[in-house]
């Protein structure tokens, strides 16, 4: 399955209108951290240094319409419709699954946390160095329980191929970052992004997602 996705090469603010982000209310803008990879429902060719995009199932600011992302100069376009720019690329690639949290836990002990390797010296004080990768269409939830048991505002559908940057502690002296495991769900917080009004303390089913170093 080939996915159409937007890869954000720099920290970006997407907007509901083609205007300066400083001129728009907070409800019409959304920060997107560098390294995010978001599945697109549609996109248009860049114009006025912006690309118009809409997302598959992800609703930022409870808004389901189109957004505008600053591109800078267009560097390359390809015959199959891919677009490469200074700030954001529109790419068409097949889904590549990563090692799931469940697979990592099978080789780790104890089982109430999952440890992700991250070199403390190389990372320094940098934030946004880990990402959560969605191998399958799934839901993230405010509690580690089946999605159908929760109110709709406590659940967010996330399509396969999405990669979201995490807000985490810095690596330990053992060069790991640990994430709590609860009822076969991994607990995590997002960097800069709020979904359904929440950025912290989401849960994802351990067989559906992995956590990797960000690009």
Q: pTM for the whole thing?
A: 0.95
Which residues does 135 contact at the CB level (< 8 Å), separation at least 6?
Answer: 95, 97, 98, 100, 160, 208, 209, 210
pLDDT mean across residues, the chain = 94
For the chain, percent of residues with pLDDT exceeding 70? 100
Q: Which of 94, 125, 154 marks a domain boundary? A: 94
Distance CA 114, CA 163 (A): 18
Shared domain for 49 and 90, answered yes or no, is yes
Question: Quick check: 92 and 84 in contact, CB under 8 A?
Answer: no
pLDDT in tens, 16-70: 999 899 999 999 999 999 999 999 999 999 999 999 999 988 888 888 889 999 9
Q: Report the C-alpha gap between 142 and 45 in whole angstroms.
A: 36
- Judgement on whether residues 116 and 79 belong to the same structural domain of the protein: no
- 165 closest CA partner among 8, 6, 57, 3: 8
Q: What is the CATH classification number for the domain harbouring 71?
A: 2.30.30
Residues 188 and 114 in one domain: yes
Element (H, E) at 120: helix 120-123
For the chain, how many structural domains are there in total? 2
Query: Of the residues 41, 67, 94, which one is the last residue of a structural domain?
Result: 94
Same domain, 133 and 83: no
Q: Which of 31, 66, 94 is the last residue of a domain?
A: 94
Q: In this structure, are 105 and 22 located in the same domain?
A: no
At residue 59, the pLDDT reads 83
Are residues 69 and 145 part of one domain?
no
114 plus 206 within the same structural domain: yes
When pLDDT is averaged across residues 110-134 and rounded to a whole number, the result is 94
pLDDT digits 0-9 by tens, 67-102: 999 999 999 999 999 999 999 999 999 999 999 999
- On whether both 198 and 136 belong to a single domain, the answer is yes
Quote the domain boundaries for residue 30: 2-94
Claim to verify: residue 106 and residue 81 sit in the same structural domain: no
Do 149 and 185 reside in the same domain of the chain? Answer: yes
pLDDT of residue 60: 87
Strand partners, 70: 50
């Amino acid at each position: 399955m080939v996915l159409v996705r937007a890869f954000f090469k720099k920290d970006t603010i997407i907007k509901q209108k083609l205007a300066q982000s400083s001129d728009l209310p907070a409800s019409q803008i959304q920060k997107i951290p560098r390294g995010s990879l978001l599945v697109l429902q549609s996109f248009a060719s860049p114009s006025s240094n912006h690309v118009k995009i809409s997302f598959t199932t992800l609703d930022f600011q409870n808004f389901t319409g189109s957004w505008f992302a600053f591109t800078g100069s267009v560097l390359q376009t390809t015959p199959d419709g891919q677009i490469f720019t200074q700030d954001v690329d529109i790419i068409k690639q097949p889904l590549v699954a990563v090692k799931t949290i469940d697979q990592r836990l099978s080789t780790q002990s104890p089982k109430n946390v999952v440890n992700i390797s991250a070199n403390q010296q190389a990372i320094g004080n940098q934030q946004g160095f880990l990402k959560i990768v969605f191998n399958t269409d799934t839901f993230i939830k405010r509690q580690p329980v089946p999605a159908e048991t929760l109110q709709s505002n406590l659940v967010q559908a996330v399509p396969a191929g999405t990669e979201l940057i995490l807000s985490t502690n810095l690596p330990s002296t053992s060069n790991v970052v640990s994430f709590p495991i609860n009822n076969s769900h991994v607990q995590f917080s997002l960097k800069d992004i709020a979904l359904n009004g929440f950025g912290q303390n989401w849960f994802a089913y351990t067989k559906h997602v992995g956590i990797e170093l960000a690009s």
